[in-house]
A and B are shown apart, each in its own frame.
Chain A
Amino acid sequence: MMTESKEIKLIDEEGRRVDGRKPDELRPIRIEAGVLEKSDGSAYIEVGRTKIFAAVFGPREVHPKHLELPDRAVLNCRYHMASFSVDERKPLGMTRREIELSKVLREALETVVFLEEFPRTMIDVFVEVIQADGGTRTAGITAASLALADAGIPMSDLIAATAVGKVAGTLVLDINDIEDKYGEADMPVAMTPRRNSIVLLQLNGRMTSEELKKALEMASQGIKKIYQLQIEALKKRYSVVSLEE
């Protein structure tokens, strides 16, 4: 992470951010469930200019067979960015960052999915970032948990997520790409709101203990709002089905 650049004013005199938001304001969010035909469940999310598809297949047979677990389903998660999703073309194939994020996303999802209901099967979760403008892992997991729900897979709760950053010494909710690049810290948080507990937590950058506690509180407030949008998206998807019956 770079030190604050002189040309870019991350917080202006009125306390507004580069895109005009207040410190505790989310970007405009659009969430839709059931957007892809062939997968068992899917979702699409836009958070500002960040755009992501998520799709779920399964529970289905495990390939290769030796990976299956006797007491529960195997959850397979792939977080992937399109080559054109970022400013400079991303080379094809999985980067180390994508490998790491696939792991933390899987671990977060494993926490809420009732895997023991489907022993000897596999549930595949694919997250495709088609445009990245900050907060892709958090938007990705928000979409992935919605896609799992859309696939009818039993879960203890949805997962909603956002990142809190520190720019020009101020804590800000839902940081975008510029704030991430030129700011001092980026902390992605995913929670299961019903249990008010964290399922994914990372931090890049410097914060004091006090700032960290405040940042977690801020994230949890933002997450509650995103959670409501997820529930609305699910209701919207399934109210159509109930009218047809």
Chain B
Amino acid sequence: MSLSTKSPRMSPIKIMQNRIYELLKQGKRIDGRAPHEIRPVSISTSVIEKADGSAMVSMGGTKILTGIKVETGTPYSDRPNEGVFTVNAELLPLASASFEPGPPDERAVELARIVDRCIRESRAIDLEKLVITEGERVYMLYIDIYVLDYDGNYFDPAVLSAVAALATCKIPRYEVRNGKLERVEGESMKTPIRTIPVSVMIGVIQDRLLVDPSPMEERALDTSVILGYDSDSNIVSIQKNAPGLLSLNIMEQIIELGSKKAEELRSILVEAVGLG
């Protein structure tokens, strides 16, 4: 079940919308950024010793922590020679007054599925290299994303933190000896990464675009789109994630802007985790 929540058409938001649009026309935003300017990003990896991989990412005031735990298990029957990964996301109640405790709601489910799609569809992880014995035993990566502080746009930093955690993840090595699965003590391997996916959230107000919206901007937007890009500038995922109209013409502008911003975010990520 999906229910309408806030009331975007109520007058205070309408007034903000006009203000934001007027500023955009002058090339400005409420927090002093340029329309196509992303907030400062900081990435620190391996912040949780007990996790096999982890990364804390902040983008402006939004703070995301991703932890990865690796287990072994049986592969899916239709993919006997591939490892498995799953993405889960939680909007923690300490991150915002609008988040409530409990099982993941539709926003958290959407976030997890968008991050999953960015990683899966870009084929970022070489899953065939995560097999211990074909058809029987594979590595399983549990990628869990926690939104710790919500100050708008949790999508892009969530993808950054998931990929940063993956890239720095140390997968504990297992081997089958005498028919028994055993941990090879002290040995680990890097996640086999093929491409570095990033996502870009783009907001639309009338005929103007902005990136990385603040919470106030998110409420005032006509609509927004999140695009995922791989290292070769292919688009690997799209999600229009709010009500509202999107003309074909605006969509073309979004595609162009997105690929530029994706480059920018990827270079920040590559620098932080040392991938090349």
Contact = CB atoms under 8 A, between A and B. Distances in A.
Contacts of A97: 113
B238 interface: yes
Contact of A206 (B225, B236, B241, B255): B236
B2 A105 contact: yes
Interface stretch (A41-49, A137-145, A209-217): A209-217
Describe B's contact surface by its main secondary structure: mixed
B110 A100 contact: yes
Interface stretch (B29-37, B116-124, B179-187, B212-220): B116-124
A102 interface: yes
For chain B, which range describes its interface: under 10, 10 to 19, 20 to 34, or 35 or more residues? Answer: 35 or more
B240 interface: yes
Given A201-B246, A206-B121, A209-B256, A96 B3 contact: no
Nearest to B195: A206
A198 B236 contact: no
A228 interface: no
Contacts of A216: 248, 251
Interface in B196-224: none
For chain A, which range describes its interface: under 10, 10 to 19, 20 to 34, or 35 or more residues? Answer: 35 or more
Interface string B104-118: 001101101100010
Given A100-B110, A198-B248, 10 more contacts: A2-B79, A72-B9, A96-B113, A102-B1, A103-B106, A106-B3, A204-B237, A206-B121, A209-B255, A212-B235
25 contacts: A1-B120, A71-B7, A71-B10, A72-B9, A75-B4, A99-B109, A104-B240, A106-B243, A107-B241, A111-B245, A115-B4, A195-B245, A197-B245, A197-B246, A199-B243, A199-B245, A201-B240, A201-B246, A203-B237, A206-B235, A207-B234, A209-B255, A213-B252, A213-B255, A220-B248
